[in-house]
Amino acid sequence: MTKPAARYYDLLSANYDPVTSELGVWTTPEIMAQQIAPILKNGAKLLDIGIGTGQLIGFLRNIDQSIQVEGVEVSRKMSEICQLKYPDVKIHHGDILEIDFPDLGYFDMITICGALEFIPELNSLLQKCSRLLSESGYLVFTYEPVIIAHPIQNQEKSLTIPSSSDREQDIKDFFTYRYSPFQMYQELKLNGFDCQSDIEFIAYRKQETNIIYHLIVAKKSKLKITNEEKIQENS
């Protein structure tokens, strides 16, 4: 059974680049690249989760041509567009939570640009990122915060496509997941990441409403929190 995210982005794929490249529509990849620029090492091995059509890679390659990029993408059609644009990028097709990578500790940086909100298991995702990153590697990602008075972002989980939409029938089980900043810091800490910066910005407009993102730069710390510390944290 095809995943809801794959069905949705397969449908969107042909229009994704033309629509998002209009001025101011989708600036997240550019903002993420600006945050990454000071920490991007020459020849870094980078994994982009939810690579889509590869927009982030375009901006990162303008900063450093030598980065070696792999991507994960659940939508076949988005992957195909990305592969045409960036033939040297190795794309792992499938759901990040289900793909097995042979080499642990391989990547210097993992990026997740506009995709974490569609991945239902935050803890499993962060565990996986931690295993795939080298010692002191970076995890750079966006997420949707829960905002109590926001018309769309006021719940931890909601349908991505509103029930009034024409597309609702195709993708009725496609959800967006949100976290409070406190929850996110806790999850990062429990999975051995130090949060180095956290910025908030307007990512795009949906149903005439601004959608807010947080962009986190986190570093894998040498010390992973122990089970005893976990119990104290949670008590």
Ligand X SMILES: C[S@@+](CC[C@H](N)C(=O)[O-])C[C@H]1O[C@@H](n2cnc3c(N)ncnc32)[C@H](O)[C@@H]1O
- Quote the tokens at residue 65: 């041509």
Per CB under 6 A, the list member of 40, 44, 55, 138 interacting with ligand X is: 55
Q: Is 95 in the site for ligand X (CB under 6 A)?
A: yes
**What amino acid is encoded at 86 in this protein?**
Y
If we measure between CA atoms, which residue out of 190, 193, 184 comes closest to residue 215?
Answer: 184
> What does the alpha-carbon distance between residue 155 and residue 134 come to, in Å, rounded to a whole number?
34
Nearest residue to ligand X on Cβ basis: 52
C-beta of 82: minimal distance to ligand X in Å?
Answer: 9
Q: Is 71 in the site for ligand X (CB under 6 A)?
A: no
Q: Is 115 in the site for ligand X (CB under 6 A)?
A: yes
> What does the alpha-carbon distance between residue 5 and residue 75 come to, in Å, rounded to a whole number?
7
C-beta of 84: minimal distance to ligand X in Å?
Answer: 15
> What does the alpha-carbon distance between residue 52 and residue 130 come to, in Å, rounded to a whole number?
22
Nearer Cβ to ligand X, position 96 or 216? 96
- Quote the tokens at residue 106: 């391989």
Q: Is 144 in the site for ligand X (CB under 6 A)?
A: no
Maximum distance among all alpha carbons in the chain?
51
Per CB under 6 A, the list member of 36, 47, 73, 217 interacting with ligand X is: 73
* Binding letters toward ligand X, positions 18-37, x by CB under 6 A: ----------xx--------
**What amino acid is encoded at 128 in this protein?**
K
Per CB under 6 A, the list member of 47, 81, 114, 171 interacting with ligand X is: 114
Per CB under 6 A, the list member of 56, 91, 161, 203 interacting with ligand X is: 56
C-beta of 156: minimal distance to ligand X in Å?
Answer: 17
- Quote the tokens at residue 125: 């995702």
Q: Is the dihedral of CA 116, 118, 123, 128 positive or negative?
A: negative
C-beta of 99: minimal distance to ligand X in Å?
Answer: 8
Q: Is the dihedral of CA 92, 132, 160, 1 positive or negative?
A: positive
What is the contact surface with ligand X in residues (CB under 6 A)? 5, 9, 28-29, 50-52, 55-56, 72-75, 78, 95-96, 113-115, 118-119
